[in-house]
Amino acid sequence: MRILAAMSGGVDSAVAAARAVEAGHEVVGVHLALSRAGGTLRTGSRGCCTIEDAMDARRAADRLGIPFYVWDFSERFRDDVIEDFVSEYRAGRTPNPCMRCNEKIKFAALLERAIELGFDAVCTGHYATLVDGPEGLELHRASDAAKDQSYVLGVLNAEQLAHTYFPLGSTPSKALVRAEAEARGLSVAQKPDSHDICFIPDGDTRGWLAEKVGAEQGDIVDRTGAVIGTHEGAHAFTVGQRRGLQLGVPAPDGKPRFVLEVRPVSNTVVVGPKEALATAEIAGERYSWAGRPQAEGDFACHVQIRAHADPVPAVATLADGRLTVVPETPFDGVAPGQTAVLYDGTRVIGQFTIATTVSAVPVSA
């Protein structure tokens, strides 16, 4: 096949490209420039897509003997990922920018251009596997549960999966990938993994959002609506947060309070006891299927609501364009805007963006 290898400058994408070359494919490397004002150097393992990362990707491509290009996707990234992130926080939701990047950039914009240029597939260093199932191609978890990235790939549809290539999915551990990179003479063999939000490399999400959204004082209330404190901007709070509340009124039982809800229209933050974070039902309308579409009605599944959360047995219901999930045991601290990925064993069924939640603990009279 003609393979376009997306090379981030990290060890995973470099080894994925190397395996594609070794498999006999015609491989071309490409690094995506996602910021026109990117930092020159990384800070430890924070951030990615810097000039240093582009140089690391080029050195890897040179070592593999493949052509290499840098493509400017900064405008698309700004519009589809950064602006989406800001608008979601303005609306009181908690978005996942990695999901949006996979959905809108790596497996939409990049894949579209790759196909236009005659490539058969885009190769990435994601840890996930593709399986030829009885009803078509299926997306499954990786062999290494600790590195599995099927959750952030849950936004991919059948057409996109048909043009993807994940060479690392069957690798038992990340240590083996690093050892392979060392043996191949790739300089990124011991490079730290990136984490946090790539366009906020210093990790100060609250400060970054304050500049973008603006800070306006509002009330912190309990579940009955009683005002028990003030805040300097609702955007700085997420469901499940405990620290930084600075409440003036202690809880009757003396226990800590947690953020239960963010209401952007009234600029209000609702807090309450930890047990009130238990969520008995989630629902949303923005859904997609990773392979064959799901028929309307009820179906059993496991649901994962964060990248590293444990999957929870549940019953999902698709009806009238809305997907509702009732877990066997309540979820803990779910926020609108998060992505719920549905599994059948190791197979990804699909995903949806959580729009509404129902607490498992009613408000006390």
Q: Give the tokens for residue 214.
A: 């603006």
198 is catalytic: yes
**∠ CA 258-262-268 to the nearest 5 degrees?**
100
Identify residue 340 by its one-letter amino acid code. Answer: A
Greatest alpha-carbon span in the chain: 70
Q: Which member of 48, 98, 123, 198 is catalytic?
A: 198
The string of DSSP codes covering 261-321 is EEETTTTEEEEE-GGGGEEEEEEES-EEESSSPPPSEEEEEEEE-STTSPPEEEEEEEETT
Q: Give the tokens for residue 325.
A: 């999930």
- State which H helix or E strand residue 99 sits in: helix 97-101
Residue 132 CB contacts under 8 Å (≥ 6 apart), including other chains: 138
Q: Which member of 49, 98, 101, 301 is catalytic?
A: 101
48 is catalytic: no
Question: Using CA atoms, how far apart are residues 282 and 335, in angstroms rounded to an integer?
Answer: 9
**∠ CA 276-281-283 to the nearest 5 degrees?**
125
Q: Which long-range contacts (CB under 8 A, 24 or more apart) does 39-46 make?
A: 39/201, 42/194, 42/201, 43/201, 43/202, 44/192, 45/192, 45/193, 45/194, 45/195, 46/194, 46/195, 46/196, 46/201, 46/202, 46/203
Active site residues: 101, 198
